[in-house]
Structures are given as structure tokens and as C-alpha cells.
Structure 1
Amino acid sequence: MKLFSLCLIVCLLQPGCDRGQNQTVMTPSQKKKRMLNDPILKHKVSQMALDAEVLNDIDWLVRTGFYVKTDLMRIICEEVYYQYSLNTDQVSATIDERLAAYRAEQKNWPDVTDCDRLDQAFARMEKRGLITLENAGNTQSDGYEIFEDALQEHPQPKTVIGYCFYHNQDLERVVGELPLYLAFGPVAPKEEETKGVAIGNIVREELERSGLEVEWEGTFHDRLRVPGMVWQKRIPE
């Protein structure tokens, strides 16, 4: 399995955290993926043909809806499988096939998908002073660090009151038809207990306003969840 190490690489290209909020209990398979950050532990891939692991990685990346072909070629050939002599013609042809199939599926999607609703909710959160991030790092700690970078680059940082994001493992779960988990919190860690719930309420309100179901215990220590979300994110042209 390379999805975890793959996610670590690709999502640093995108613009919470462990601090105070419950982590989802990891399965043995997820723990194995965490270990795969070390290239020494990566499985060997056939140099003559694309095996099931490579095909699954390509399919997963396509279904996230975040990457065009040039991104996919670089990620697969130069980053995730850089140690192996993959047949680039086969990789290219497979990516073309999967992209074409995915775009064909999009023709049967509803006019407004759950991913569109999430985008709408994130846009309104931004207007209310949150920095929202998609595909932000590999863990909640990564996501918070990316938030801090985004805050430094924000044109009006004093207007920012908090954040909301999901990271790579969250993306992997929701593409796999599990609930989407969202991290949230105030700008300053020292204000998590006093202002964290207020930020969570903003996130919940905007998600529900977009027509998404929300599960949340109402505390900073519990991440919000969007159950039953159908991941249909349109691939950029």
C-alpha cells in the first residue's frame, strides 16, 4: 500500500490538528500506511507492467478530483514510484483511460454534488473569518502548520478568527465512502477551550446551510463529521 506515502507527497502541493481534538482510531492497515512514509518499507513494483497497486493509486488520485494529468504523471513516476522503472507510456495511457472514465461519470452527476455543497460552505466560512483548507497535509498537526502559513500570507490576518480543514487521511476515508472528518479551532492554541466551540458552531451552521448532514458532540475535543457524503469532485480542466 502506498496511498499514505502518496498522500503525504501530493498534498503538500495544496494549501486540526492533533492539538486537543480526538484522533480517529487507526486500523492496522492505516498504521501500516503510516509506516510507508519510509521508502525502505515500500513494496517493490513490477518494472514490466503496472501492477494492481499502481493502478489503484492512479484510480484513487483521479477520484479525489484534485489532479490533472501532468500532476498525476509527476506524482506516480517521479515521486511515489521514483525508485522503480515504470513504463511511462503505460502510466500515461492508464491515466488517460481513468480520467476519461471519470469525466464520463461526471455527466451523470447531479448539478450540485456534495463536494459543491462543501465548497459553498467553505466559501461562507471564509466570509465569517475562517481560513478553510482542503487536502491539507497528512495529519491534524500538518494541517495546523499549513493554516499558520496561510495566516501569515493572508491579506488581512487580523480578521481571521479560526480555521477549518480536512487532511489526506480524511480525504482517503471519504473517497472510500466513509464520513468526512473536519478539524477546526481558533487562531491561538491557548484559546481552544474558550473559543473552540464557537468556531465549531460556525462550521456546523455553514455545512447544514449547504444541505450537508453534520454529526458533532458540541465540544472542541470532537471533530465534526459529515456522514453519507458522496465524493464527486469535478476534475479541473
Structure 2
Amino acid sequence: MNDIDKYILNAIKIQVWSGFNDYEDIQDLISDLLENGADERMLRDSVDIEFKEKYKAEQSWPDITDFDKLDPTFQTLSNDGLLCLHNAGYTMSDGHEDADTALSKHANGQFFGYCFYHGQDVERAVIGEGLTLAYDHIAGDVPDKIKVATKIQQELEQAGFVLEWDGTVEKRIRLTNFDWKHRSAVELR
């Protein structure tokens, strides 16, 4: 197996196990990543195999996973004025853009801040490196941003998460022991 096949297989695995993508999304990803010398048939066939492995693993997962605890925590924060987004873009700048777009769809003043994690954060979480959250205040400066992060920290701790945050705006909030188990809504083919 060559390096491009290994790279694409890893991307397939991450995307399947993230729980955000369906079969067609991942086939599109393969199309985007294909290069000369790649074993297209093997790569496309691996999608079914990976979904079947994930589905089998899901049968042994606890009824409530860390992701299942995070989702209502995000909802609570959103109800309290902090817009929370799952899988917002692929990078930090994408996440901030997605948050700006989402905020523009709500009444002015409904949210005073926001929180998100992006695709690279998901990739790290899937391989067991915890989940890191970004945050910002909509119009405030450092003290307001710290208030946003403190509110997020309190809700996460109340939900039972262990986290790292140094109390400054230079660091994001990291859920250190976050066990990424996000069930797919994909029907097996």
C-alpha cells in the first residue's frame, strides 16, 4: 500500500468514526483526495467496511457517551446566551466564520458569545486526544471573553467533564478525557 492510500484510508476512518458524515459524504471525500497511483476500488470499498466496524463497536458503547453529554450541555449554554456549534468548519478561522454566519441568523442580542470545535479538533478527539473548544465574546474584550469561557467551564464541569483551561484567552478549553463516541445516523448498505 502506498502513502496516498494510507493517507486516504486514515481520512476515511476519521470521517466515519466522527459520526458526522454519511456514505456519500465519504465517497465525495475520496473523490477529492484521489491522486494517481491510488487504489480507488480498495478505497471506495473500505467505506462500507469502516461503517460496519463502527456499527459493530457502537453496540458495545454505553447508553450515554461523552458526546451524548456534550450535546445537551451545548443546548443549555445556547439557552443561556452562548451559541454552541458542533464540527464548525475545519480550522479555527472556519469555526469563527461559521459562528458569525450562525449568529447572523438570530435576533441581535440573543447571544453574547459563542463556543465551537472544528474538524481538526474532531480528528484529534477521534484518535483519543480529548476535545478542545474555542470560544469568543461577540463584542467584548478580554474580560468578557474570560466570562464566556468561565460560563462554558462551569457547565462542562456540572455535566461531569474533566477539563484543562488556564483562565486566559490565550488557551482554549480542553476536555482531557473526552472519549469520542458519536453514533452515526447512517443506514448500513
After superposition, residues 135-174 of structure 1 pair within 5 angstroms as: 135-154=87-106, 156-174=107-125
CA distance in 2, matches of 1:174, 1:85: 30
Would the aligned equivalents of 2:30 and 2:44 in 1 still touch at CA under 8 Å?
A: no
In the TM superposition, residue 194 of structure 1 has moved relative to its aligned partner by 2.6
Alignment partner, residue 130 of structure 2? 179
Deviation at 1:163, TM superposition (A): 0.5
Which residue pairs with 2:63 in the alignment? 111
Aligned counterpart, 2:152? 203
Q: Which runs of 5+ in 1 are unaligned?
A: 1-42, 46-50
Judge which range, 105-114 or 175-184, deviates more: 175-184
Paired residues of 2:90 and 2:118 also in contact (CA < 8 A): yes
After TM superposition, where is structure 1 displaced by more than 6 Å over at least 4 residues in a row? none
1:123 equivalent among 75, 83, 102: 75
2:90 alignment partner AA = N
**Alignment check: 8 A CA contact 1:185 1:192 kept:** no
TM-superposition CA deviations, 1:121-147 (whole Å, max 9, x none): 111111011111122223322211111
Q: How many residues align?
A: 185
Q: How far apart are residue 75 of structure 1 and its match? A: 1.3
Q: Which residue of 1 aligns with 2:33?
A: 80
Structure 1 residue 97: Cα displacement? 1.0
Question: 1:1-237 alignment to 2 at 5 Å?
Answer: 45=4, 51-77=5-31, 79-81=32-34, 83-84=35-36, 89-154=41-106, 156-188=107-139, 191-237=140-186
Aligned-residue offset at 1:179: 2.4
* Per-residue CA distance 1:39-91 (angstroms, 9 max, x = gap): xxxx974xxxxx322222211111111111011111112x222x448665534
* CA shift digits 1:186-231 (9 cap, x unpaired): 112xx12131111111111111122111211222222111001111
**Against the structure 1 CA distance between its residues 108 and 209, is the aligned structure 2 distance closer, same or farther, given a 3 Å change threshold?**
same
Distance 1:84 1:136, change over 3 A: farther
SS at match of 2:114: strand
Aligned to 1:132, what secondary structure does the other structure show?
A: strand
Distance in 2 between the 1:89 and 1:186 partners?
Answer: 47
Aligned equivalents of 2:170, 2:126: Cα separation in 1: 24
Counterparts of 1:139 and 1:93, CA distance in 2: 29
Q: Secondary structure at the match of 2:163?
A: coil
Query: Aligned equivalents of 2:46 and 2:71: distance in 1?
Result: 29
Gaps of 5+ in 2: none
Aligned AA (2:29)? I
